[in-house]
Amino acid sequence: MQDQKRQGDIFFTRTELPDHAQQLTRKPGQRIAVALGEVTGHAHAVWNGDVVAFAEPGEVEIAWLSVPDAAIADVVHEEHGTIRLDPG
């Protein structure tokens, strides 16, 4: 299990979810866009349905991802390839 991963200019690290974090809702089959490219329109995105996104209250930018045990979390990007995040 790795505690840190990188995909292009996006950095992922294992951390505790703060009590004040609010879960973001998404429709079935909708991706979680972790970051969007302003120029290219490419996205660092998670499509796996079991992954849950959280943000600061009142914010729409994702700050935390929760990957349940036994779930797969692949972060996909058009140029940087795919990385897999471990559960946690």
Query: What was the pLDDT predicted at 57?
Result: 86
Query: What was the pLDDT predicted at 12?
Result: 92
Q: Kindly report the pTM of this predicted structure.
A: 0.82
Q: Which domain holds residue 80?
A: 4-85
State which residues of the chain have pLDDT below 70. 1
Three-state SS letters, 15-80: CCCCCCCEECCCCCCCCEEEEECCCCCCEEEECCCCCEEEECCCCCCCCEEECCCCCCEEEEECCC
As for how many domains the chain has, the answer is 1
Query: What was the pLDDT predicted at 52?
Result: 92
